[in-house]
């Protein structure tokens, strides 16, 4: 069965709750939260990232999130709340769906970096 990007986004948006910048800030303040920027490196270099976020480009996410991968990033822990964002919300929705499929339970999409109203680091 052939799947379109539109269908993939619909499935991702159904599986991964969209949250506001304010909700994300509350979750971050509560602790045990991982914020992941899935944009490409030139995007992050141009604008900075949410303070404290880890940058993992969308293409490397599965490798960084899987504890069995030689590329695993120890910041990825299935007990943490994971908040994702990209430039407009599409890549972060797809990334969130992948993390859910990999067994991460508390996964949220804050949407695009432009939607963030909290602190930023360069």
pLDDT (tens digit per residue) in 56-103: 999 999 999 999 999 999 999 999 999 999 999 999 999 999 999 999
How confident is the prediction for the chain on average, in pLDDT? 96
Q: Who contacts 15 (Cβ-Cβ below 8 Å, separation ≥6)?
A: 96, 97, 100
The token pair at 11 is 């499935």
Structurally, how many domains does the chain consist of? 1
Q: Do the domain assignments include residue 107?
A: yes
Q: Is 96 helix (H, G, I), strand (E, B) or coil?
A: helix
pLDDT at 49: 97
Q: Do the domain assignments include residue 48?
A: yes
Q: Do the domain assignments include residue 121?
A: no
Domain that holds residue 9: 5-116
The token pair at 72 is 């695993």
Q: Do the domain assignments include residue 122?
A: no
Residue 121 has pLDDT above 90, yes or no: yes
Q: Give the residue from 93, 98, 120 showing the smallest Cα distance to 108.
A: 93
Q: Do the domain assignments include residue 59?
A: yes
pLDDT (tens digit per residue) in 2-57: 899 999 999 999 999 999 999 999 999 999 999 999 999 999 999 999 999 999 99
pLDDT at 2: 87
Helix (H) or strand (E) holding 14: helix 5-15
The CATH number for 87's domain is 3.40.250.10
Q: Do the domain assignments include residue 22?
A: yes
Q: Which residues pair with 5 in a beta bridge?
A: none
């Amino acid at each position: 069965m052939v799947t379109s990007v539109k269908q993939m986004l619909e499935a991702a948006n159904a599986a991964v709750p969209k949250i506001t910048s304010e909700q994300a800030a509350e979750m971050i303040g509560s602790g045990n939260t991982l914020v992941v920027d899935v944009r490409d490196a030139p995007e992050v270099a141009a604008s900075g990232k949410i303070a404290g976020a880890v940058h993992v480009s969308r293409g490397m996410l599965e490798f960084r999130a899987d504890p069995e991968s030689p590329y695993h990033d120890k910041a990825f822990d299935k007990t943490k709340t994971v908040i994702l964002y990209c430039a407009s919300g599409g890549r972060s929705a797809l990334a969130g769906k992948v993390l859910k499929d990999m067994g991460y339970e508390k996964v949220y999409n804050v949407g695009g970096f432009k939607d963030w109203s909290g602190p930023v680091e360069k």
